[in-house]
C-alpha cells in the first residue's frame, strides 16, 4: 500500500466522522459546529489530490484505462509519448496560475471563511 493511499483512507475516515458529528450536533443537540464544513472541504481537496497521485502511480485512472482500450495496441507507446508533453504542459499551467492565486491571497491577507485562518505561505 502506498503512503498516499493510507493518508487518503485516514482523511476519508476523518471526514466521515466530522460530517457525522455535524449532523448529530445539528439535529440532536440543535447547535452547529461551524468549522466542520470548512475542514471537511479542505480534507476533501487533499484526499482528491493524493488519490490522483496514487491512481496515476498505479496506472488506474479511468481515462488511462479507457484510452488503452480504445487505442490499438501498436499505437499505445506512441500515445504514451504524446501524452507526456501534454501532461507536463498542463502541470506547468496549473502551477503558474496556482502561484498567482496564492500570491494574491497573501497580498490581500485573505482568510478562510469559517476558521479565519490566513492563506499565507
Give the domain ranges of the chain.
Answer: 1-60, 73-121
What is the radius of gyration, based on Cα positions, of the chain?
A: 20
* Separation of alpha carbons 47 and 105, rounded Å: 22
Residue 96: phi and psi, rounded to 5, are -60, -55
Q: Which three-class secondary structure string do you get for the chain?
A: CCHHHHHHHHHHHHHHHHHHHHHHHHHCCCCCCHHHHHHHHHHHHHHHHHHHHHHHHCCCCHHHHHHHHHCCHHHHHHHHHHHHHHHHHHHHHHHHHHHHHHHHHHHCCCECCCCCCECCC
Can you say whether residue 103 is alpha, beta or left, with left for phi > 0 and alpha for psi between -120 and 50 degrees?
alpha
Note the pLDDT of residue 2.
85
Note the pLDDT of residue 14.
97
Note the pLDDT of residue 120.
65
Supply 31's cell numbers: 447547535
Residues of the chain with pLDDT under 50: none
Amino acid at each position: 500500500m502506498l503512503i498516499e493511499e493510507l493518508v487518503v483512507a485516514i482523511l476519508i475516515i476523518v471526514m466521515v466522522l466530522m460530517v457525522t458529528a455535524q449532523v448529530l450536533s445539528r439535529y440532536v443537540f440543535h447547535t452547529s459546529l461551524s468549522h466542520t464544513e470548512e475542514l471537511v472541504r479542505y480534507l476533501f481537496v487533499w484526499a482528491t489530490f493524493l488519490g490522483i497521485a496514487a491512481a496515476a502511480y498505479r496506472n488506474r485512472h479511468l481515462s488511462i484505462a479507457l484510452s488503452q482500450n480504445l487505442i490499438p495496441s501498436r499505437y499505445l507507446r506512441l500515445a504514451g509519448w504524446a501524452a507526456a508533453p501534454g501532461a507536463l504542459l498542463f502541470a506547468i499551467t496549473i502551477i503558474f496560475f496556482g502561484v498567482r492565486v496564492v500570491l494574491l491571497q497573501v497580498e490581500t491577507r485573505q482568510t478562510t471563511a469559517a476558521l479565519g485562518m490566513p492563506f499565507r505561505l
